C-alpha cells in the first residue's frame, strides 16, 4: 500500500496491528415512488415529479449505507435503531439518522475504509447526480472521494423497479474493526 497522506498511515497501522481485522457490511434498501414528496438520494435532492414513500425522507441510498455501516459494527440494522413506529422520525433527514449511526459507540470503533453503492432505478436518470452523491457521502462518512464509489443502473424493464415503481440501493462498506 502506498502511504501518501497522514490518513493512509492510520489505515496501514490499523491493518498491521494484530488487534484489528477487516470487516465488510452489506446494506439494501428499497422504496416505492410517492407523489407530493421530494426525491432525495445520497443526501442530494434529485429533480423528479415523484419522491419516495417512507417514514423519514426515504433516502434509499443513505438507508443502505447505514445498514452496511451497522453490519460492519455488528450493530443490527436501521429498523432496530430507528423503528418506523417512532413518530419523531416522520420526515426526518436521513443524513441526521446517519450522523446518529456514526455516533453509536460500536460504530465509532470502526475505521471505515471504503464504500461502494449501486442505485437501481429506471427513472429518473441519475448519472448527472453521481458526483454530487459521491461528494456528499464522502463528507458524511469522513472519507476521501476516491474511497466512495456511486454506480447507477436500470433494471432492463424487469419487475417493479423495471416498471418504474420505485428505487433500490445496495451498498458494501469495508472497515477495520479492533478485535
Contact criterion met (CB below 8 Å) for 35 and 29: no
Please report the pLDDT score of residue 13 as a whole number.
66
CA 70: distance to chain centroid?
11
Fold of 23-178: 60s Ribosomal Protein L30; Chain: A; (3.30.1330)
pLDDT category of residue 1 using cuts at 50, 70 and 90 = low
pLDDT category of residue 2 using cuts at 50, 70 and 90 = low
Q: What angle do CA 107, 112, 118 make, to 5 degrees?
A: 105
Please report the pLDDT score of residue 166 as a whole number.
97
Contact criterion met (CB below 8 Å) for 118 and 170: yes
Contact criterion met (CB below 8 Å) for 179 and 36: no
Return d(Cα 169, Cα 151) in angstroms, integer.
10
The pTM of the full predicted model, rounded to 2 decimals, is 0.89
pLDDT category of residue 20 using cuts at 50, 70 and 90 = confident
| Residue 23: all three cell numbers together | 470487516
Average pLDDT score over the chain: 93
Does residue 3 surpass a pLDDT of 90?
Answer: no
| Residue 15: all three cell numbers together | 491493518
Closest residue by Cα to residue 94 from 114, 66, 75:
66
pLDDT category of residue 17 using cuts at 50, 70 and 90 = low
Does residue 123 surpass a pLDDT of 70?
Answer: yes
Q: What percent of the chain has pLDDT over 90?
A: 88
Does residue 18 surpass a pLDDT of 80?
Answer: no
Does residue 10 surpass a pLDDT of 80?
Answer: no
pLDDT digits (tens, 9 = 90+) for 80-115: 999 999 999 999 999 999 999 999 999 999 999 999
For residues 7-27, average pLDDT: 77
Amino acid at each position: 500500500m502506498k502511504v501518501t497522506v497522514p490518513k493512509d498511515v492510520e489505515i496501514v497501522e490499523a491493518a498491521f496491528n494484530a488487534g484489528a481485522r477487516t470487516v465488510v457490511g452489506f446494506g439494501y434498501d428499497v422504496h416505492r415512488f410517492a407523489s407530493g414528496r421530494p426525491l432525495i438520494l445520497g443526501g442530494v435532492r434529485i429533480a423528479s415529479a415523484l419522491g419516495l414513500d417512507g417514514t423519514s425522507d426515504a433516502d434509499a441510498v443513505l438507508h443502505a449505507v447505514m445498514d452496511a455501516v451497522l453490519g460492519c459494527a455488528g450493530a443490527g440494522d436501521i429498523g432496530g435503531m430507528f423503528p418506523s413506529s417512532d413518530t419523531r422520525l416522520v420526515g426526518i433527514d436521513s443524513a441526521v439518522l446517519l450522523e446518529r449511526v456514526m455516533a453509536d459507540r460500536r460504530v465509532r470503533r470502526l475505521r471505515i475504509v471504503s464504500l461502494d453503492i449501486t442505485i437501481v432505478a429506471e427513472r429518473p436518470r441519475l448519472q448527472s447526480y453521481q458526483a454530487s452523491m459521491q461528494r456528499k457521502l464522502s463528507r458524511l462518512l469522513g472519507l476521501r472521494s476516491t474511497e466512495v464509489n456511486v454506480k447507477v443502473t436500470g433494471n432492463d424493464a424487469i419487475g417493479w423497479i423495471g416498471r418504474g415503481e420505485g428505487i433500490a440501493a445496495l451498498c458494501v462498506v469495508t472497515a477495520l474493526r479492533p478485535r
